[in-house]
Structure 1
């Protein structure tokens, strides 16, 4: 009986555990991470027996809920299991969690693991290229002064947007799930849009705040943008239209963008969803270009680069829109990009965890005028402290005329979960990068700098950007943009084998030293072309200098070479052995050298390209000098004609 009861209890407990696991997975899948955390935690009785998938999902749930202390704890337990089935993305998230807890050295070690697992991921490549990322971030720091805002609540306040002299903010209770603020989904209690009066500089008092009438519903409203005339608003809302909540096939409530206009009484009215929303993915976080003809937004629609990407679309007349454009690999990574804001000078500020940062989401800036959608060709800068912190920093906006703005953060010391901070910008962040190349043309045979070489700078499209000539020291320079551009320099010079050198310019490598190697083609200056042409010795009759017919075939080789190389100049050097007097041999060899040169000139080679000189027995190749007995073969080594290249 006891065995039967135990068996029944075991079956019931197993069923309860399976039911709890299914519920946890459903909550995780629907981005209700707070509930998933509770359910997964209930399943963990003994760390030695816990399922790796549960550990990973529990750690991810804390990560997506921006609870980086608990995320670190559970990722650590996950990796302590040593299971090879862990997703490589968990390496990245663990590193981000460690950064959020200011453990940068350990965070970098886990990024190394991520690099090994995903070497082609843009985040991995960026980490490898910028190991000194903390120094780079520090270079942009100190350009803002923060100002406290008294309109913050004990809950979450984020997504500020300009509304005349006031602000619109999103405010509500504690967040759950793939959150509205940092992500795109939320299944938590109500978030509404509020109009608030920000503190003026040096003014610390309770600001007025009121709900925005005509916009708020029984579901979430957040992240808005209003046109300059104050009559049109784009905002984010859960999938709700005509009083009905929309869900995808998995039962998840997604986000959509809506447009509202003011009626003749100044009330918000005519609220309609934008036509590029979907029932299968989310769209939110709107921003407008300065001319209000382009709408920027965040979406996790299929075909993107990462978890969520930033897109743009042109706004046309009659409530129509152009084609959707993903901002491409300059802005979007395999991570999360969100909360775009476009300034008067066409700078894009946005939040991301895919570029190197201090932890969590950081605020970044790039110049939209430099972006080519299909290429990674612009520079993205971390705006540094005090805007960014080890925690999540996002929804940055700025008025470039006043240099005043606002952003949200869940950094330590705030009033609620997320708080809005005001700031004054005290210094510009340079979003362009003027770079260049310091080059050296180098001849590899003689191992020396090469003057007079032509150098051409070629971009990634194969287009010639610029050209120059190396100076007397072989040096040359180019000016070029260092916006993540790939280049090569092609070097050429007559009489040389061309060479090239490929490299990339970036913010971190904005003025590299580039050497272009060229090889001088033989024969080299000072070289005897008799060896190159495989000439046999030129023979003369005894004591004579006239060219014999039998020697013409050999001299024709020299003649043809000079015709094929019209810039080469040659000196014919004639040598004798030591038999006979020194003076006689010198005169005889000189007559033979000049006779040979004359024959070549008579065949059409200009006289300034060929000359002859006799050296007699002054440059013997062996020991057979005057008075030394040698056989004929040894003496013959010294009787020779050389055809020396004196100029190319």
Structure 2
């Protein structure tokens, strides 16, 4: 009996293992086919209630929720994954855990997991961006509040996304839950299809108002069509479709139906015709989400083709009639190790796109970069989050805008929508703030005394003479300005009381976004330390022998000093009286001190404030020549040492 029971347990256990293994394999097949909900159900049958479950399966469940934009459940399963300290965790799981926490508005905890991600993968550009902009919520707040946004009446309980301008109409995609090459890869099944629809543009509509919606019959097929762009003349369309051509479905090596870009043109009857796949599609990777430059000579798109930077990158290609140039990855300014998709180009060459690799509020956020900078720099600081309300803690993508009207559309699965992804109309009320994190650092410098000048006022002006910013040089004469680096020319004006105004100019470019400059300011006379006697060419002030009172004959010379002080009402002077070496040292010191103070008192008696004039005797302590005690000198030599100095000590 015991042998029978043991054999039965072995059989039952083996059967359970086979069943569990079979579910994992089926789950893996569904996971690879982007059927994430089915994969979750199959995986969960194995892991729930199990101890010591394979870490890989838990990560796949978390990833499946993450790719389905179910960030609440994604957070729960990433937390399970990271709670076991003895398990090696894929660094990408740390990043996605952080993103899920952001989507659930847990920003402080999200930042902690970003630090863990950085430690485990220090070379990743997403971690480097986080270190550069740890105050990302403040940065996002700078650009927030610049749009008014409103849900559109044609939204459904399913996914509505991919808005595109089509003359005075709007094209968009609609269907059930789907997401392509890990960038809004919605589940593709036979229950519902993604098709392209046409609707009128009425940004001010109210919910419940019906708009006439038209299905593009010539474009839509038995598989999925989604994002599109149409030329201004309305004759050519580029759009995303499953890999289907002439009725044949193309699949990759494991059976997944991928995405391709197609081109359609209108025939003589105004119908979409001549639908052809673009030559740079591939059979083992996806290509989709088209956008056109304003001159319609360049096509932008998203792809997960080999050789890219991340899970999905944005590329561009020159349109040469019916042929195309070389495929160009937009590089590390735009693309990260994460997901970049849904490009849109404005008339002013601004590229808007969705990403989860830059600093954001959670999920996919909308970002902007000036395409003109892409050829001159790889500075990731030139990519800007467009802020709330365009962005939310959930997925926000598919941004388009008419710069002439400041009106546009964006898709989002944020809370409060009709269901899944919804399309929102918006009006831009303020331009985005786009400043460099570099700028101008400088030194205010006094050129007479050749030294740094503290307390100078510096004003930064643009090429139109508009005042941009004002600051004051510090105790070391240093100052800084933040300034735009978009090929801007600047003038810096420096001023300080008692100094001649100084100016300097500089230019900031994308390639050279910081500059060091010097602003020279010349101190106006009088200068501290100057002798007014030399400035006024005074003759020596004479006193009677061994006396210190001012003689009438000396008053004209002192009157010159008096007038100078009246003309320079802030100047303060110290009268320094000196004797020659004849006589005793103590006597000379006292005599010179009495004479200096007597001279100062005469000036005070004429109405000069007592705190502006003082006198001090130095006796024979500061001789100008060799005629010291014990040295025989001529009267002329001794006379060089008998002098009164009127030294400016403050101005």
Same fold, TM-score > 0.5, yes or no: yes
Q: Judge conservation of contact 1:379–1:483 (CA < 8 Å) in 2.
A: no
Mean Cα deviation higher: 414-423 or 120-129: 120-129
Change in 2 beyond 3 A, CA 1:174/1:75: same
Q: Judge conservation of contact 1:370–1:377 (CA < 8 Å) in 2.
A: no
Change in 2 beyond 3 A, CA 1:354/1:184: farther
Change in 2 beyond 3 A, CA 1:240/1:15: same
Task: Report how many aligned residue pairs link the two structures.
Answer: 480
Change in 2 beyond 3 A, CA 1:253/1:230: same
Deviation at 1:11, TM superposition (A): 2.2
Deviation at 1:37, TM superposition (A): 0.7
**Given the two structures, how large is their TM-score scaled by the length of structure 2?**
0.68
Q: 1:157 maps to which residue?
A: 160
Q: 1:77 maps to which residue?
A: 80
What is the CA–CA distance in structure 2 between the aligned matches of 1:418 and 1:128, rounded to whole Å? Answer: 32
Q: 1:49 maps to which residue?
A: 52
Deviation at 1:177, TM superposition (A): 7.4
1:72-116 CA-to-partner distances (Å, cap 9, x unmatched) read 000011111224421111111001000000111111111111121
Q: 1:59 maps to which residue?
A: 62
Q: 1:640 maps to which residue?
A: none
Q: 1:266 maps to which residue?
A: 270
Q: Does 1:306 align with 2:291?
A: no
1:451-475 CA-to-partner distances (Å, cap 9, x unmatched) read 9xxxxxxxxxxxxxxxxxx9x9776
1:205-224 equivalences in 2 (<5 Å): 205-224=209-228
Q: Does 1:29 align with 2:32?
A: yes
Change in 2 beyond 3 A, CA 1:513/1:81: farther
Q: Give RMSD over aligned pairs.
A: 3.4
- 1:117 maps to which of 115, 120, 132: 120
Q: Does 1:172 align with 2:175?
A: yes
Mean Cα deviation higher: 197-206 or 59-68: 197-206
Q: 1:285 maps to which residue?
A: 289
Q: Does 1:228 align with 2:229?
A: no
What is the CA–CA distance in structure 2 between the aligned matches of 1:514 and 1:105, rounded to whole Å? Answer: 39
Q: Judge conservation of contact 1:169–1:223 (CA < 8 Å) in 2.
A: yes
Change in 2 beyond 3 A, CA 1:382/1:476: closer
Q: 2:373 maps to which residue?
A: 370
Counterpart secondary structure, 2:387: coil
- 2:133 maps to which of 118, 130, 133: 130
Q: Judge conservation of contact 1:367–1:432 (CA < 8 Å) in 2.
A: no
What is the CA–CA distance in structure 2 between the aligned matches of 1:362 and 1:324, rounded to whole Å? Answer: 25
Q: 2:258 maps to which residue?
A: 254
1:388-399 equivalences in 2 (<5 Å): 388-399=391-402
1:450-529 equivalences in 2 (<5 Å): 482=485
What is the CA–CA distance in structure 2 between the aligned matches of 1:81 and 1:514, rounded to whole Å? Answer: 55
Q: 1:357 maps to which residue?
A: 360
What is the CA–CA distance in structure 1 between the aligned matches of 2:353 and 2:20, rounded to whole Å? Answer: 42
Q: Does 1:201 align with 2:213?
A: no
1:426-437 equivalences in 2 (<5 Å): 426-431=429-434, 433=436, 436-437=439-440
1:529-579 CA-to-partner distances (Å, cap 9, x unmatched) read xxxxxxxxxxxxxxxxxxxxxxxxxxxxxxxxxxxxxxxxxxxxxxxxxxx
- 2:93 maps to which of 90, 93, 109: 90
1:328-367 equivalences in 2 (<5 Å): 328-367=331-370
Deviation at 1:176, TM superposition (A): 6.2
What is the CA–CA distance in structure 1 between the aligned matches of 2:626 and 2:204, rounded to whole Å? Answer: 94
Q: Judge conservation of contact 1:295–1:314 (CA < 8 Å) in 2.
A: yes
Q: 2:327 maps to which residue?
A: 324
What is the CA–CA distance in structure 1 between the aligned matches of 2:355 and 2:484, rounded to whole Å? Answer: 25
Change in 2 beyond 3 A, CA 1:130/1:432: closer
Change in 2 beyond 3 A, CA 1:478/1:425: closer
Q: Judge conservation of contact 1:338–1:350 (CA < 8 Å) in 2.
A: yes
What is the CA–CA distance in structure 2 between the aligned matches of 1:184 and 1:20, rounded to whole Å? Answer: 22
What is the CA–CA distance in structure 2 between the aligned matches of 1:177 and 1:310, rounded to whole Å? Answer: 14
What is the CA–CA distance in structure 1 between the aligned matches of 2:298 and 2:314, rounded to whole Å? Answer: 13
What is the CA–CA distance in structure 1 between the aligned matches of 2:179 and 2:234, rounded to whole Å? Answer: 32
Q: 2:184 maps to which residue?
A: 182
1:558-606 CA-to-partner distances (Å, cap 9, x unmatched) read xxxxxxxxxxxxxxxxxxxxxxxxxxxxxxxxxxxxxxxxxxxxxxxxx
**Given the two structures, how large is their TM-score scaled by the length of structure 1?**
0.68
Change in 2 beyond 3 A, CA 1:202/1:266: closer
Q: 2:633 maps to which residue?
A: none
What is the CA–CA distance in structure 2 between the aligned matches of 1:98 and 1:168, rounded to whole Å? Answer: 33
Counterpart secondary structure, 2:18: helix
What is the CA–CA distance in structure 1 between the aligned matches of 2:138 and 2:628, rounded to whole Å? Answer: 71
Deviation at 1:30, TM superposition (A): 2.5
Q: 1:379 maps to which residue?
A: 382
Change in 2 beyond 3 A, CA 1:337/1:616: farther
Deviation at 1:20, TM superposition (A): 1.1
Q: Judge conservation of contact 1:409–1:418 (CA < 8 Å) in 2.
A: yes
List gaps (5 residues or longer) in structure 1: 443-447, 452-469, 485-504, 516-612, 619-648
